[in-house]
Structure 1
Amino acid sequence: MSVADTRYPVVRADAPLVVFDFDHTLYDGDSGSHLFLWLIRRSVWRSLLALLIAPLFGPLVAFLPTRRLGISGFVWAGTVGLHGRHDLDALIDQYVDAHREQIRKRLLPIALEVFREHRENGDRVVVATGAPPELARAILAFVAHEDVPVVGTEVGPRLGGIGPGRHCHHQMKMTMLREAGFDSPMWKAYSDSSADLPLLQAAAEPVVVNPKHGRVRMFREVLPAGTPILNWGCPGRGGDPVQ
């Protein structure tokens, strides 16, 4: 049976809660960066604007405390002239439609199989991502999972463009999940990122997937003994290969 033909059971309110990160977990890469690079490259003047602000905002992206500010500069460069979230959502749909084959190739088959199994079991599955939620929804629609709840970074008007409001990242991801009604005890959480340690540590059974090689030792030290650290077919990333 194909993924598109699958019919999933109705999710009970008391079903086990399972949270998936999106980038480097279900999708090979940083979906938000791919989108905003496309937004910037739509015109020469946007590209020049991004180059102009890069010395200021670029270094900020590398550090967790300043990452939100750094990303916001490039988001702004790619969205100057837009008037709100609905304008951005329309461009997201345009971007996804224009890059269907490239995006489809980035969806990780092993990850999607695990995702599907949880849904077939009737688990309460949610995606929590630092990307705009419309982007994750549009990509998941390729594999008939567009009905899965997505919690993502909030965006809105800022200085003539679009900027992130609350970044669904680190501890804020936990806050936004609770506010969205996903406040029951978490059974499983899947993520690649050290920024998701609050998420992984909150889960009864955390699963690290596709981590950076340099972070594997840290995950083994801070997460419970025996925590799976897997590679779901993400080239250049760490974790034990899944056969």
Structure 2
Amino acid sequence: MRELAFALAYEPGCNRVADALAEHSDARIRSLSLHATDDRLWRVDHATGSSEALDAISAAFLDTEYYADCLATEDCEATQTTEVLEHTDSALVLYSRWERSPTCISVPHIARTHLGDGLLFETRHEARHYTWRIIHSGSGDVTAFFEDLDAAVGDCAQLEMLRTAEAPDAAGEPSGTSGLAPEQEAALRAAVEHGYYESPRAVDVGELADHLDVPRSTLTYRLRRAEQYLAKRYVGGSQFPGSRPDGRLEYSN
């Protein structure tokens, strides 16, 4: 099995959900389940954040022509139904069902075209970054998948490759990989070299982002993912002999 992980960084105004998340830095959305056939897509998503953030996310799904995961830049005349399964002060669970039109396109459907059936999808959405993890058989055309995906998102989003490697084994370790995506490793190295982790800090995130010529939000995202990976790996590797980590390590974003 093979693993693909990548992120779409949406420009303002191109994705209502990304816009809502960008306005609420505490909010996150992750998929609990995501399935696609040739003409349909259905998913369950779990969002966390402040009450105001969850209201904005709910509105983005329910009150606009969002169409689950559709990459079309104009109204594609798809049919979508979204239901709120749970809405509390700190959590929101949404079920979405989407029936494609001939002009609709999405990440799962591009993946089905080039990577075949039997795909597993995981997503995480924070700020303008929409991170995808796909597990596939390894027999498809990954290059064609990314070429079509890049063409589909156009100027609305930047495509950032995070990893392509063997899927994690039973112990949670990916085969033959270093763990960090190249962009995350570069961000972490630059942060160390420029004194970001010194006390007091020699530079702040904004200064470091200017030095690397990347948006502040992008650098923050990369550092957070790198720190999350290293922290989980450290804790997982420090278990007593014969024990196993309580949860699998996440290497996708």
Give yes or no for TM over 0.5: no
* TM-score, length basis structure 1: 0.28
Which is greater in Rg? 2
Higher helix share: 1
Q: Normalising to structure 2: TM-score of the pair?
A: 0.27
Normalized per residue, which structure has more strand? Answer: 2
